[in-house]
Amino acid sequence: MPSIPSNKPYRVGRSPTGLGLFATKPIKKGTKIIRYFGPLLDSKKKKDDAIENKYLFELNDRWTIDGSVRKNIARYINHACKPNAESDVRPRKRKVFIRAIKSIEPGEEINYDYGTDYFKAYLKPIGCKCAACEKKRKKQRAEARAEKARLKAKAERKALKKAEKLAKAKEKAKAKLKEKAERKAKVTLKLKGHSLNGKSLNGRSLNGKRLNGNSRVRVAGKKSVGSKQPASAPASVLEAQPAAIAFEAQPTAI
């Protein structure tokens, strides 16, 4: 690092962008801090016009300061989109001074705006690293994280709601199956003849009469249903039945 007289209110130090110029004493607003100097380049000369580096400071269409020399301590001042200093350009005198535009405290980095052309050519492609841009990017990253967290929470709530809906549907289907099974069980019990209006349905009797598939059953005064009988039986058969019954009822003589 270049040596700087102790009476100067600045020093060269480490910065987020490499090296930078920092205040060592309070610097009041409007104070002329340092001069930006170096060899003058004439754009009308091909040799001078061919020189390219990051420390060229254009005074006007013809004259440019080549500030790449190490004695130019002002070349260590970094760019800032919201600076605390500015360049005071004096084309006629072919001089440039860096002047404070606000009060600068000891330890604070001194910076100024390099201008639109320099920003587009050198800073925009790599991304400006000044405090204002870093703060802006930090805010954007925080907002992006918050948005990501919000979307994640929304997705989780949606998934939970869907799972709850699915669980309710399963419970409802399970309840329906259970109800259906219970109804089926009740119907099965009734069909087995356990009870139906207090009368047995076990396939053996109904109203005290046998249901063997051949017997006739009379229901509500209707004609009996079963095996068909002749419309009339012979008189001899009808008359013979009481005699047989009477014979069987007489006691046997001793």
Tokens of 186: 């009740």
**Are residues 120 and 39 part of one domain?**
yes
Domain-terminating residue out of 147, 167, 196: 196
Q: Give residue 188's pLDDT.
A: 83
Contact 52, 70 (CB under 8 A): no
- Separation CA 64–CA 62 (nearest Å): 7
Contact 56, 66 (CB under 8 A): yes
Assess if residue 66 is contained within a domain: yes
Assess if residue 173 is contained within a domain: yes
**Are residues 29 and 118 part of one domain?**
yes
Give Cα separations from 41 to 48, 51, 74, 89, 241 (angstroms). Answer: 5, 9, 18, 16, 156
pTM assigned to the model: 0.59
* CB-based contacts of 85, cutoff 8 Å, min separation 6: 33, 77, 98, 99, 100, 101, 104, 110, 111, 112
Domain-terminating residue out of 196, 217, 245: 196
- Separation CA 8–CA 131 (nearest Å): 24
**Are residues 182 and 83 part of one domain?**
no
DSSP E strand stretches across 191-230:
205-206, 209-210
**Are residues 156 and 114 part of one domain?**
no
Q: Which domain holds residue 149?
A: 130-196
Give Cα separations from 36 to 59, 74, 75, 98, 104 (angstroms). Answer: 11, 5, 7, 7, 19
Contact 173, 165 (CB under 8 A): no
Number of domains in the chain: 2
Q: Give residue 194's pLDDT.
A: 55
| CATH number of the domain bearing residue 16 | 2.170.270.10
**Are residues 166 and 110 part of one domain?**
no
81: nearest Cα among 117, 126, 129: 129
**Are residues 112 and 136 part of one domain?**
no
Assess if residue 222 is contained within a domain: no
Radius of gyration of the CA atoms of the chain, in A? 57
**Are residues 114 and 69 part of one domain?**
yes
Tens-digit pLDDT string for the chain (254 aa): 677 877 899 999 999 888 999 999 999 999 999 999 999 999 999 999 999 888 999 999 999 999 999 999 999 999 999 999 999 999 989 999 999 999 999 999 999 999 888 888 888 898 888 888 888 888 989 999 999 999 999 999 999 999 999 999 999 999 989 888 888 888 888 787 655 455 544 545 445 455 554 545 454 454 544 445 545 445 444 444 444 444 444 454 43
Q: Give residue 209's pLDDT.
A: 52
Assess if residue 232 is contained within a domain: no
- Separation CA 66–CA 38 (nearest Å): 5
**Are residues 142 and 61 part of one domain?**
no
